[in-house]
Amino acid sequence: MIQLLRVDHRLLHGQVAVSWVQGLGSNCIFCVGDKVANDPVWKTTLKMGKPAGCKLVVKDMEHAIEAINSGVTDKYKMIICVATIAEAKQLVEGCPQIKSVNLGNTKPKDEKRPDARQVSRQIFLTAAEEADVREMLDRGVEVEIRPLADDPKVDCASVL
């Protein structure tokens, strides 16, 4: 069962490993993305950060969508972590059972993201990301901003 689809450019770190895993009672963290799946250093780092008693799975987008839709992941209480809003949108499009996206942390404005604007303390959206969020909202997908499990949900539509 998918408990959370989280966008966080850091993927697995303290907020996920402690707040979200404990808050939701999760037993699996599923890190999805073509970049992370093909980066041995990143995969090793993720393995070191996973909480005890929690399974870690890392897959590229195509194989992740296939696994989710096949039902093989249904036995887990699973948090899916992706690094970008575009990756979250790909999962939403490929897996109709995903009805909610959590925005936890996106990269701030910099030379690679000159048009990023801050919409909350930890969320910065480029024009393309904002369009992706609006498209998910138009499809009826909940897009919420919430760094920690105990934080109140903020409807992303209210800050766009």
| Tokens (6 digits) for 74 | 């249904």
Give pLDDT tens digits for 76-112. 999 999 999 999 999 999 999 999 999 999 999 999 9
- Give CA angle at 73 (30, 43), nearest 5°: 25
Distance of alpha carbon 48 from alpha carbon 56, whole angstroms = 10
DSSP 15-61: IIIIIIHHHHT--EEEEE-HHHHT-HHHHHHHHHHSPTT-EEEEE-H
Q: Which domain holds residue 139?
A: 2-159
**Structural domains of the chain, count:** 1
The domain spanning residue 38 has which CATH number? 3.40.35.10
Tell me: the pLDDT tens digits for 36-55?
A: 999 999 999 999 999 999 99
Q: What is the pTM of this model?
A: 0.96
Question: How far is it, in rounded angstroms, from Cα 6 to Cα 143?
Answer: 10
